[in-house]
Structure formats: C-alpha cells, structure tokens
Amino acid sequence: MKKAIGIIILGLFLVGCAPQVNPLGGSNENNVTIDLNLLDRSKGPMHPPTLARANQWCNQFNKTAKYLKKTFGGFQYACLKK
C-alpha cells in the first residue's frame, strides 16, 4: 500500500499539470510567475509552452513577456511594452 501511494505521489510530482500563473507570486501587469512541474522546469524558461503561458498573461495588458529569474516553483517573467 505504501509503495502504491509513493508511486502516485511521485507521478503527480513529476507530471503535474500545464504551466500555471501563480496569483500569489505577485503576478500583475508588470510581471508574471509561472509555476511548473519538475520535468517542465528542467526544460528551461524559453520552452515554448511555458513562454506561451507567460505571453498569454502579458498580452492582456498589451505587453510581451521577457524572462527575469528562476523561482522556487518555476520562472518569473517581466511584462514589457511591445
């Protein structure tokens, strides 16, 4: 039973879900924090789905995303004028 629970938790930790905007990460019209699972985080900040999610957030303010820094759960992008 413990082994099955461990496998399920490990699967969720590695697979997780698509890149998510972290509302608690200070996401606003000037920056956005994208939370990622372990596998997506290893692909880097310029991985197309991650960058697309950041641009989707910034586009609502007529801006484009530029990589800023790595955070605990993912990456932070600055929203800059186009």
pTM above 0.85, yes or no: no
* pLDDT tens-digit series, residues 14-39: 555 556 776 666 778 888 888 888 88
Q: How far apart are CA 3 and CA 59, in angstroms?
A: 44
Judged by DSSP in three states, 25 sits in helix
* pLDDT tens-digit series, residues 24-78: 667 788 888 888 888 888 889 999 999 999 999 999 999 999 999 998 888 999 9
Q: How far apart are CA 68 and CA 31, in angstroms?
A: 9
Amino acid at the residue 11: G
